[in-house]
């Protein structure tokens, strides 16, 4: 399903309300939220809505979607740092409820297995929110990704390594990532994909109009029974 909003603000408001109502209905909900520029406003609105309405996130469980390999969690620009600043700290999330990839782990296969085991033990992720890269990635599921995959280590696409520099103050060597797989995203109860701006229009057209395939990993969400693509007018302009 696709929903088109007049503005980025309206889109963010809708996405924030989806997150907050998930937690309102289920205080022990399991959420998996992407880092990135797109969801920035959504998360600010989640914090504001949670505070205004006294919605308690203390028992919510957070599963990390992805992380840059070789970047410390405390480094500004890491996915963990972003989410910690914008949502975990403002909502006073219990650190024991946050299960995030450590991009500095020496044994990355073990790191993947740990997250897989946590998801298996929990059962189901209730809500996933992803952005989309201009190459069609969701999380770090790059073009060519195996749709059956669970958590895995990724050699990043050249587009991702170039664009990824925008999150960091100083230039970083970004060659690999670690990510939940398409199979785990698809097994979640609900997936929201959010995209705004004209720079996302071409990949949104490919996501929605071309064949569903790993050439555009986001296209798999069209097969999700509860997958919602939220767009502003610019991102939807080529549909």
Binding site residues, ligand PGA, CB under 6 A = 36-38, 131-133
Q: By C-beta, is 50 or 79 nearer to ligand PGA?
A: 79
| Ordered DSSP codes for 35-69 | -SSTTHHHHHHHHHHHHHTT---TT-EEE--EEET
| Ordered DSSP codes for 70-89 | T--TTSBTBHHHHHIIIIIT
Distance CA 108, CA 205 (A): 35
DSSP state of 220: G
Instruction: Report in angstroms how near the CB of residue 65 gets to ligand PGA at its nearest.
Output: 9
Catalytic entry in 102, 126, 137, 224: 137
> Is residue 66 annotated as a catalytic residue, yes or no?
yes
Distance CA 172, CA 60 (A): 32
Angle at Cα 56 formed by Cα 53 and Cα 60, nearest 5°?
Answer: 135
Catalytic entry in 135, 141, 150, 196: 135
Residue nearest ligand PGA, CB atom distance = 36
Catalytic entry in 84, 102, 126, 142: 142
Q: By C-beta, is 66 or 111 nearer to ligand PGA?
A: 66
> Is residue 135 annotated as a catalytic residue, yes or no?
yes
Instruction: Report in angstroms how near the CB of residue 49 gets to ligand PGA at its nearest.
Output: 21
Point out which residues pair with 94 in neighbouring strands. none
Q: By C-beta, is 57 or 68 nearer to ligand PGA?
A: 68
Instruction: Report in angstroms how near the CB of residue 50 gets to ligand PGA at its nearest.
Output: 22
Distance CA 178, CA 33 (A): 15
Distance CA 234, CA 23 (A): 30
- Matching residue, tokens 């195996």: 146
Q: By C-beta, is 36 or 227 nearer to ligand PGA?
A: 36
Instruction: Report in angstroms how near the CB of residue 131 gets to ligand PGA at its nearest.
Output: 3
> Is residue 157 annotated as a catalytic residue, yes or no?
no
Instruction: Report in angstroms how near the CB of residue 122 gets to ligand PGA at its nearest.
Output: 23
> Is residue 67 annotated as a catalytic residue, yes or no?
no
> How would you classify the pairing of strands 152-155 and 66-68?
unpaired
CB atoms within 10 A of CB 65: 28
Q: By C-beta, is 58 or 199 nearer to ligand PGA?
A: 199
Q: Which residues are catalytic?
A: 66, 135, 137, 142
């Amino acid at each position: 399903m696709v929903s088109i909003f007049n503005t980025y603000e309206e889109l963010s408001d809708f996405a924030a309300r989806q997150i907050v109502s998930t937690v309102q209905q289920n205080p022990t909900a399991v959420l998996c939220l992407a880092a990135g520029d797109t969801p920035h406003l959504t998360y600010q609105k989640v914090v504001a809505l949670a505070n205004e309405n006294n919605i308690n996130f203390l028992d919510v469980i957070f599963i990390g979607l992805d992380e840059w390999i070789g970047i410390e969690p405390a480094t500004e620009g890491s996915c963990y740092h972003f989410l910690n600043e914008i949502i975990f700290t403002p909502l006073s999330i219990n650190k024991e409820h946050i299960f995030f990839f450590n991009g500095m782990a020496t044994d990355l296969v073990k790191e993947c297995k740990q997250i897989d085991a946590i998801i298996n033990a929990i059962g189901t992720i209730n809500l996933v929110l992803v952005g989309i890269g201009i190459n069609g990635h969701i999380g770090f599921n790059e073009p060519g990704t195996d749709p059956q995959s669970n958590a895995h280590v990724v050699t990043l696409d050249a587009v991702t390594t170039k664009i990824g520099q925008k999150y960091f103050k100083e230039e970083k060597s970004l060659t690999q990532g670690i990510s939940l797989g398409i199979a785990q995203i698809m097994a979640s109860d609900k997936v929201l994909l959010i995209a705004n701006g004209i720079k996302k229009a071409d990949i949104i057209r490919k996501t929605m109009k071309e064949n569903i395939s790993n050439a555009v990993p986001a296209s798999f969400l069209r097969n999700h029974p509860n997958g919602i693509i939220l767009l502003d007018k610019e991102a939807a302009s080529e549909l």
